[in-house]
Structure 1
Amino acid sequence: MRRAAIERLLPAAYQRACVPGSVLWALLDVMEALHAPDEAVLADVDALFDPYRAPDGMVTYLARWVAMDHVVASPRPDAPPPLPLGRLRDLVSHGALLARWRGTPYGMRRALEVATGTGGYAIDEPRDRPFHVVVTVPPAAAGQLAVITRIVEAEKPASTTAEIVVAEEPP
C-alpha cells in the first residue's frame, strides 16, 4: 500500500499533521516499505498455483493438492524429492487428467510416462490370474523402480495385485 493511500485512511487530524519531515511522514514511509513484499506476492498470486511458474518449494505442495502425494512422500522431511523438479511440475500439470483416469490401465500408463519421462510401458491382465496386473517397464526407466512401484501401488485398483517387470533390452 502506498504512503498516500495509507495517509487517506488516517483521521483528519493525523492527515493534517502528516507533513514532509515529520515523524508521522517517516512512519508512513516505513509502513509502505513493509507492505511492498506482500503486495508483490499478491500481484502475482496466480503464479503460486501454476506448476510451471510456482517457486520450487511450492511444487511438492501442489503435488499433494492434485492427489499425487504418494509420489512425493518421503520417509524423512529433509529427503530430496524422488523426481526431478521438471518431472514433478509435469505431474502436477497433468493431475486432473490422471485423477480422471485413476484405476484404469490408461491412467496408470499415463502417470508412469509423465513421472518418468519415458514411454513404452505395457500393462497386461493375465487371463490365468484374475485381479492381477503385470506392468512391464521399458529398460530406459529401470533406474526409477522406486517411483514406478509407488505409482503402480497407488494407481491400480485396490482389489488388484501388481507385478513389475523390466523389459529385456532388444538385441
Structure 2
Amino acid sequence: MRRELIAGFLPEIYQVALRPGTPLAALLAVMEGLHMPTESRLDSLDAVLDPLRGEERFVFMLADWLGLAAYLDWTGGRPGAGVASFATGTERLRLLVAEAARLWRDRGLRQTLERFLTIATGIEGIQVEDGVAGADGRIRPFHLQVLLPAEARRYAPLVARIVAAERPAHATYSIRYADPSEDQEQHAEL
C-alpha cells in the first residue's frame, strides 16, 4: 500500500502534520516497504494458484490433492518417498491437473477415459471400445478394449495404472498397442 493511501486512513490532524522529512513521513515509508512484498504476491496470486503457471512443486501438491498421486513415480519407490515425477513430464501433469475437475465429473465414461489418456500421454488417436468380441467370437459383456498407437508403448506402466483406476468399476479391460509385431495385451478381471 502506497504511503499516500496509508495517510488517507490517518486522522485529519496527522494528515495535516504530514510533511516530507518528518518522523511521521518516515514511519509511512517504512509501512509502505513492509506492505510491498505481500501486495506484490497478492497481485500475482492467480499465477501462483494456476497449475499451468505455478511452481513445479505446487503442481505436484495439487496432483496429490486431486487424487492423481497414483500416477506419479517416486525416486524412493513408494508414494511420498523421495522426489515425485510424472512419466510424460511436468507439462503433461499441469494439463491433467487443470482438467481434473472435468475428468472427475464424467468419470466412468468411455470418452473420459480416452481424454484422460490423451492428456496424460500427449498422444492422439487413443480409442476405448466396448462390445468387443472375445476369442470365441462372442461379445464380451462389460469389457473395454483400449487401443493405443505404438508410440504410447513407452508409457505402458502409466497407461496400465490409469486404465485400471479410471475404467468403470464393473468392467474388465484389455490394452492393445497398434504395433502388430508385438501384440501385447494386459487384462484385469473383476
TM over 0.5, yes or no?
yes
Give the unaligned 5+ runs of structure 1. none
Q: In the alignment, does 2:153 pair up with 1:142?
A: yes
Return the structure number with greater helix share: 1
Equivalent-residue separation in structure 1 for 2:161 and 2:54 (angstroms): 25
SS at match of 1:143: helix
Residue in 2 that maps onto 1:84: 89
Equivalent-residue separation in structure 2 for 1:122 and 1:17 (angstroms): 74
Read off the aligned partner of 2:2 and give its amino acid letter: R
Equivalent-residue separation in structure 1 for 2:176 and 2:27 (angstroms): 67
Q: TM-score scaled by structure 2?
A: 0.69
Farther off after superposition, 78-87 or 8-17 = 8-17
Give the CA deviation at 1:37. Answer: 2.1
Give the unaligned 5+ runs of structure 2. 135-139, 183-190
Equivalent-residue separation in structure 2 for 1:170 and 1:147 (angstroms): 22
Equivalent-residue separation in structure 1 for 2:156 and 2:33 (angstroms): 50
Residue in 2 that maps onto 1:30: 30
Identity within the alignment, %: 39
Residue in 2 that maps onto 1:131: 142
Equivalent-residue separation in structure 2 for 1:160 and 1:45 (angstroms): 42
Residue in 2 that maps onto 1:111: 116
Higher relative contact order (CA 8 A, sep 6+): 1
Return the structure number with greater strand share: 2
Partners of 1:67 and 1:99 within 8 A in 2: no
User: What is the count of residue pairs matched by the alignment?
Assistant: 171
Residue in 2 that maps onto 1:5: 5
SS at match of 1:150: helix
